[in-house]
Chain A
Amino acid sequence: MTNAITIKNLNYSYPEQGELFKNFDFSVQEGEWLAIVGHNGSGKSTLAKLILGLLDFDQGEIQVFDEKLSEETLASIRAQVGMVFQNPDNQFVGATVADDVAFGLENRQVPSKEMPAKIEAALKQVGMEDYAEREPHTLSGGQKQRVALASILALHPRVIILDEATAMLDPEGKQAVMETLKELKARYQDQLTLIMITHDMEEAALADRVAVVSDGQLVFDEKPETLFLKGKQLAELGLAQPFSMELQSALGISQTTYRTKQELATWLSTLKA
């Protein structure tokens, strides 16, 4: 298996608030869907910024596929790693949705003849092809985040990092973005590595693996089904557990099986007196 991202012995301190990462080691495999969760200030967004070279680290090494992150490789690494940020309003540059997707392609000097097809293909993948001529500000938050995803997809990234990309969305918007991510993952499979930074355990449940970060330390690193059995430890880290696990624990059912809401409802109905 190839590593998409390899972090070795990373050291990073905030400018004024001191040390965050100390001798931090971590890796993400190609094709993985990884969720990074942690309380506010745990360092999860900082980690994403370090990978993209938006912040400079003090010591250690970050490698994206076979390239070591440095001044020289920055452009090439950013060409492979796309990022969707939290605030949908801060990532638009184009006058229309299509212009916005075109912007990244222009930066890559894609011939203008090839652009319309690429733009349409990218918008189709996020279900926004009917909105190509719309002005971005007329879109809902969920639609904006899907356009942000399309702008990245048009550049064929190998890794997409979503930094709390659904935090500002209403439930419908959240769901639309998550559905889009599922479709992308099904389409690209091992060709696309997804890293999703989130507080939302229902979202994290969709990932192959969940990394729990607290104060710059990797506390847990495992499948969601086993992580969610650690309700008490999660609470101590300031994290919630999924509703179904919270209810199981309130019912006094020992936390040895992860059940989704639907599974729990079905199971409980077989136990009806």
Chain B
Amino acid sequence: MVINIEGLDFAYGAGKQTVPVLKNINLTFPEGQITAIIGQTGSGKSTLVQQLNALLKPTAGEVHIGDHTVTNKTKEKALTPIRAEVGMVFQFPESQLFAPTVIEDVMYGPKNFGATDEEAKQAAEKALAKVGFDTSLYDQSPFNLSGGQMRRVALAGVLAMNPQTMVFDEPAAGLDPQGQAELLDLLRTLRDEGKTIVLISHQMEQVLALANQVVVMKDGQVAAHEPVEELFARPQSWFADQHLDLPETIAFQKEMEKQGFVFDHLAKTVDDLAKQLAGQLDSAKLTGQRSDQAGSQAQTGGPHHE
């Protein structure tokens, strides 16, 4: 399902009291890709993604969501099917859990959109399996779970409706590294299944690792919209102007460039960065430094051989 935004303006309020938030947005969210939306707090990211499932209607312009078109004049009733096709995972979705058991919480969405108990249960079990949730906890109260487990239940609640497009707002915030890695894998799986994935994130490492293309929002406008490699090749000063960080590997690369190091491509991972650095280091000096630094523990640590 492709989502296409054409000439969108959006303002909160009505009449003279309007507060313009989004200005002249033109964007396409392709199928089978992850589009990351980044930008400072208050840049309009959250308002923008609420147009993608018609939680907000444009003040001007059009949003094409699969076969649906949403304009300022679209009736509320026509928006309902869109909500099932575009799943939203808000920040800290576990705060919206409410049912007495895990399974009932995940079944709620499908039932709400007309599934029978049996269908809803199947969908819920499939979704819980997909997020790697322990089957023995299905009948637990979600409120007795750890933060990481609650997050999985909340994600399963959206997945159970099998939406074509999924929007994730800071999905990994507050998760431990393992939980984060598993979440990133889930997003990749969903993308590879052909879903349209939209990811809001402040974590640039995540954006670098996952996104096919990146939209940078600033003051309600699109400041950049390009493939991830192009974006992170921009100079450090550009990111500073947007109040954005660079991914750690790339920030380190740019730091080393100032010291005269040369890199032939952007380092997506620490291993890639190490490989590109190692070729430029004096191996004799490095070995010397290693044994100096290692001191008495040299026997156990030992130098590293490729």
Interface residues of A (CB under 8 A from B): 14-17, 38-41, 45, 86-87, 140-141, 164, 167-168, 170-173, 199, 238-240, 243, 246-247, 250-257, 261, 265, 267-273
Contact = CB atoms under 8 A, between A and B. Distances in A.
B4 interface: no
Contacts of A255: 301
Contacts of B255: 261, 265
A199 B273 CA distance: 24
A269 B270 contact: no
Nearest to A167: B174
Contact of A40 (B147, B260, B281): B147
B4 to A, nearest CB: 28
B293 A257 contact: yes
B140 interface: yes
Contacts of B264: none
A16 B252 contact: no
A267 B256 CA distance: 11
B148 A41 contact: yes
Contact of A171 (B202, B260, B293, B304): B202
A164 B170 CA distance: 15
B282 A268 contact: no
Residue among A16, A238, A253 with the highest chain B CB neighbour number at 10 A = A253
A261 B249 CA distance: 11
Nearest to A242: B248
Contacts of B281: 251, 268, 271-273
Contacts of B189: none
Interface stretch (B154-162, B210-218, B283-291): B283-291
A247 B294 CA distance: 17
A16 B202 contact: no
**Taking chain A's interface residues, is the majority helix, strand, or loop, or is none over half, making it mixed?**
loop
List of 7 A-B pairs having minimum Cβ-Cβ separation, nearest first? A252-B304, A40-B148, A41-B146, A254-B301, A250-B274, A269-B259, A238-B178
B259 A272 contact: yes
Nearest to B297: A256
A265 B258 CA distance: 10
Nearest to B174: A167
Contacts of B304: 251-254
Residue among B141, B145, B290, B293 with the highest chain A CB neighbour number at 10 A = B293
Contacts of B202: 170-171
Contacts of A269: 256, 259-261
Given A87-B92, A171-B245, A15 B280 contact: no
Contacts of B92: 87, 168
A172 B243 contact: yes
Nearest to A171: B245
A14 B149 CA distance: 15
Contacts of B244: 171
Interface residues of B, number: 58
Contacts of B178: 39, 238
Given A167-B173, A246-B270, A17 B144 contact: yes
A172 B259 contact: no
B293 A271 contact: no
B13 interface: no
B144 A16 contact: yes
B186 interface: no
B140 to A, nearest CB: 6
A132 to B, nearest CB: 21
B18 to A, nearest CB: 18
Given A14-B144, A16-B144, A40 B179 contact: yes
A197 to B, nearest CB: 11
B141 A41 contact: no
A39 B176 contact: yes
B294 A254 contact: yes
B301 A243 contact: no
B175 interface: yes
A199 B176 CA distance: 6
B141 to A, nearest CB: 7
Nearest to A164: B174
Interface in B173-188: 173-179
Contacts of A86: 174
A273 B282 contact: yes
B233 interface: no
A250 B256 contact: no
Contacts of A265: 252, 255-256, 259
B271 interface: yes
A255 B300 CA distance: 10
Contacts of A164: 174
B91 A168 contact: yes
Contact of B271 (A243, A250, A272): A250
B20 interface: no
Nearest to A243: B248
Contacts of A172: 40-41, 243
A140 B41 contact: yes
A272 B146 contact: no
Given A168-B174, A253-B289, A261-B248, 10 more contacts: A41-B146, A41-B147, A199-B176, A247-B252, A254-B298, A256-B294, A269-B256, A271-B286, A272-B260, A272-B281
